[in-house]
A and B are shown apart, each in its own frame.
Chain A
Amino acid sequence: MNLEPGLYHLLFISAALLFIGVYGFFTRRNLITMLMSIELILNSVNLNFIAFNKYLWPHKMDGLFFTVFIIAIAAAEAAVAIAIIINLYRSHNSIDVENAEELKY
């Protein structure tokens, strides 16, 4: 029995991560949780890149580089998002998105 994971396994995990992330992003009201969901989505993309790189073009590095970039950008994004969340907390005393609805028509 071959226990080595194939491309499909990885894609399956990646898709699962994406949908978990999307689900979390739409259902959770806590901003921190939403941020975590976004990280899940990003990581599903990372996984996709790695998997395709390994199985389809094993002699190239493009996918790996993309992944490194995405991780760097995700770190920056997390820093910005957390800054926003802190500010929101200071002004609203909560990090629930439903309490921050002033910016509308």
Chain B
Amino acid sequence: MPNGTLIALIPLLPLAGFILLGLFGRKYLKNSSGIIGTVLLLASTILAIYTAYEYFFVYGKVAGVYEKKFPLNYTWLEFLPAGQAGSKGVSIDMGILLDPISVMMLVVVTFVSLMVHIYSLGYMKGEERFSTYYSFLSLFTFSMLGLVVSRNLFQIYIFWELVGVSSFLLIGYYYNKPSAVAACKKAFIVTRFADLGFLIGILILSFSSGTLDFNTLISTLTTPGSGQAKAVASTFLGASAITWGAALVFIGGAGKSAMFPLHIWLPDAMEGPTPVSALIHAATMVVAGVFLVARLFPVFSITTPGVLEIVGWVGAVSAIIAAIIACTQTDIKRVLAYSTISQIGFMMFALGVSGYGGEAGLGYTASMFHLFTHAMFKALLFLGAGAVIHYIHSNEMKDMGGLRKFMPITHITFLIACLAIAGVPPFAGFFSKEEILLSAYHNNTIIYYIALFTSGLTSFYMFRLYFSIFWNKPHEVERKKHGKGGFSMMMPLILLAIGSAAAGFIPFGKYVSSDGTFLESHFHLQFSILPVLLGLAGILIAWWLYHKQSDRADRLAASLQGFYRTAYNKFYIDEIYMFITKKVLFNLIGRPAAWFDKNIVDGMINLTGNTTAAISESIKKLQSGKVQQYAIYFLVSVIGLALLFIYVWK
């Protein structure tokens, strides 16, 4: 059986790091905080890998099915003890749930976080708030690990908000930069807005199933019976309660995962330090939405297939829109951000087109597989971009070019990551993307074609990035030799590159599937030809346009004038939001509310204050400072009281 304490240590070690560095870091551990954080996380990573090994190979599989294990449960708040008044009991628990996806996420989160910790040792060296940075990273890692092992909806919600906060803190790390401050506010507000939906969804789901616990909730809502019947029977605006619940939970997931139209915060979140972007806004936190849908997948696919279809469409639309925008951006981190949105879109619609159990669950496996490989190569891309930015001191593509001779390791690893994301065999992205495309092909033809086109676009914009950074211009010799990044920055790149190259060969279907059974991944050669060809075509076009300086790209952009400008301006989605918030919400709600607040609410307060002030102004002369006057007041009062006692209150 799994050892609960050992597994609980995986999230608790980073928490210890956060507390230690947060309290004492700035004063006492200024230089050693990076090492402390990294060592604690290394221990977590080892524990996570050990847990994964134990789960997948020792105790997880019972009769050919990977079961859910509950090694730890702790009743945190008990509102109504079980058995009293004939109820099942109302309590909020904290605990650990091990199943294939949570174990996989444990490994992914700890591994990528460890890479980022090591990388930051070099990247953030000499920062003023070095130890604060590491304490925030530890906080984030703790919350993310707590999120993936959550065993009930309430626990996942707590950790969900915690990752939101730590993301906010890290985006706003450079707090004296106004754009970073604006970005962290934006990220927080947008995800909070989505989390409101999530909260209401939690309330609906737990109310209709009578529990917060995932296992009980899923079995209540998916097996036909009284619980499910009740949830389906009560309707609101033509949809059943459970449909609303699932849809609202998905809104929360879409906000965190930056799905269209709630994706606007992610590109701005690139204001944070680059390793943070790699960890939070590429590999781990933004896939929390995918993870959430996967966690509740049986509810989505069995009880509310309509919502699952929405998931699929939202994913597909996000994938293609983000890919188109990514082709036009010039800030390399923004290109990667849009690419992240696009890839998460892939994961989302893979879930959306998936069914539950057996062969139909291919999309589920594919989604989780893509999550896994994407974490590897996208973290690698970000860290590589970080190395480039560290070297160039600019985010703009036009400042780069011809870097392949100066940064050979970065160049090779970046190329591997680009090949992986473009889906060129035998790199990791190829395998996972093939499975996604295959499941889309079987279930929804329109989404399949969108996905096919998007995957072509993906390889185009990734290689546009690659050629613009490493080729394009003839290399200059007289670049200042600064900040190429030491061993601590190169080692994570190499390790992640190995991961991106080799992760595809893991027989993922064997370990992760929608119902825990073995899922044979089929490999169809004919089927793979088209996506791979499209990917190669994308690379070729990118090579033709960008491998050396030319005006071809500009001419192409000019010929697509209107469309190009629209895409360059991100389809004006930010402007639409600004219009809605500034013009509509501010004028219709904000201003009247402000008027009411200023005149009515404040008015009442001011009235009390002013009255008191006026009264005290008029009687303050009584305190004249003349002793004999006071004595007179005293005498008069005593005489008055005496008269009262003698004649009135006899």
Q: B-contacting residues of A (Cβ < 8 Å)? A: 22, 25-26, 97-98, 100-105
What per-residue 1/0 map shows which CB atoms of B448-472 lie under 8 Å from chain A? 0000000000000000000000000
A103 to B629, CA, bound (A): 13
When distances are taken between beta carbons in the complex, the residues of chain B under 8 Å from A102 are: 625
Query: Contact at A26–B628, with CB atoms within 8 Å?
Result: yes
A26 to B630, CA, bound (A): 10
Query: Contact at A103–B625, with CB atoms within 8 Å?
Result: yes
A42 to B631, CA, bound (A): 16
Query: Contact at A105–B626, with CB atoms within 8 Å?
Result: no
Of B176-184, B547-555, B616-624, the stretch lying at the interface with chain A is B616-624
* Of the residues B624, B625, B627, B635, contact of A22 by C-beta under 8 Å: B635
When distances are taken between beta carbons in the complex, the residues of chain B under 8 Å from A103 are: 625
Number of chain B residues close to chain A: CB under 8 A: 11
Q: How far in angstroms is the closest Cβ of chain A from B101?
A: 73
When distances are taken between beta carbons in the complex, the residues of chain A under 8 Å from B628 are: 25-26, 97
**SS class, residues of chain A in contact with chain B:** loop
A10 to B415, CA, bound (A): 118
Say yes or no: is B576 at the interface (Cβ < 8 Å to chain A). Answer: no
Most chain A CB atoms below 10 A, which of B625, B631, B632: B625
Query: Contact at A104–B625, with CB atoms within 8 Å?
Result: yes
Query: Contact at B625–A101, with CB atoms within 8 Å?
Result: yes
Query: Contact at A105–B635, with CB atoms within 8 Å?
Result: no
When distances are taken between beta carbons in the complex, the residues of chain A under 8 Å from B625 are: 100-105
Apart from A100-B627, A104-B623: 11 A-B pairs, beta carbons within 8 A: A22-B635, A26-B628, A26-B631, A26-B632, A97-B627, A98-B626, A100-B625, A101-B626, A104-B624, A105-B620, A105-B624
A100 to B621, CA, bound (A): 16
Q: A-contacting residues of B (Cβ < 8 Å)? A: 620-621, 623-628, 631-632, 635
When distances are taken between beta carbons in the complex, the residues of chain A under 8 Å from B631 are: 25-26
Number of residue pairs spanning A and B whose beta carbons lie under 8 angstroms apart: 26
Query: Contact at B626–A97, with CB atoms within 8 Å?
Result: yes
Q: Taking CB as reference atom, which chain B residue is nearest A104? A: B625
Q: How far in angstroms is the closest Cβ of chain B from A61?
A: 28
When distances are taken between beta carbons in the complex, the residues of chain B under 8 Å from A26 are: 628, 631-632, 635
**Please, could you name 26 A-B residue pairs with CB atoms under 8 Å apart, sorted by A?**
A22-B635, A25-B628, A25-B631, A26-B628, A26-B631, A26-B632, A26-B635, A97-B626, A97-B627, A97-B628, A98-B626, A100-B625, A100-B627, A101-B624, A101-B625, A101-B626, A102-B625, A103-B625, A104-B623, A104-B624, A104-B625, A105-B620, A105-B621, A105-B623, A105-B624, A105-B625
When distances are taken between beta carbons in the complex, the residues of chain B under 8 Å from A25 are: 628, 631
When distances are taken between beta carbons in the complex, the residues of chain A under 8 Å from B632 are: 26
Nearest first, the 9 A-B pairs at minimum CB distance are: A104-B625, A101-B625, A105-B620, A105-B623, A97-B627, A103-B625, A104-B623, A104-B624, A101-B626
Q: Taking CB as reference atom, which chain A residue is nearest B628? A: A26
A16 to B625, CA, bound (A): 30
A100 to B628, CA, bound (A): 11
When distances are taken between beta carbons in the complex, the residues of chain B under 8 Å from A105 are: 620-621, 623-625
Q: How far in angstroms is the closest Cβ of chain B from A64?
A: 26
A103 to B623, CA, bound (A): 8
Q: How far in angstroms is the closest Cβ of chain B from A101?
A: 4
Q: How far in angstroms is the closest Cβ of chain B from A33?
A: 12
Q: How far in angstroms is the closest Cβ of chain B from A26?
A: 6
Q: How far in angstroms is the closest Cβ of chain A from B630?
A: 10
A98 to B626, CA, bound (A): 7
A101 to B626, CA, bound (A): 6
A97 to B629, CA, bound (A): 11
When distances are taken between beta carbons in the complex, the residues of chain A under 8 Å from B626 are: 97-98, 101
A31 to B632, CA, bound (A): 16
Q: Taking CB as reference atom, which chain A residue is nearest B626? A: A101
Q: How far in angstroms is the closest Cβ of chain A from B342?
A: 72
When distances are taken between beta carbons in the complex, the residues of chain B under 8 Å from A104 are: 623-625
A22 to B631, CA, bound (A): 10
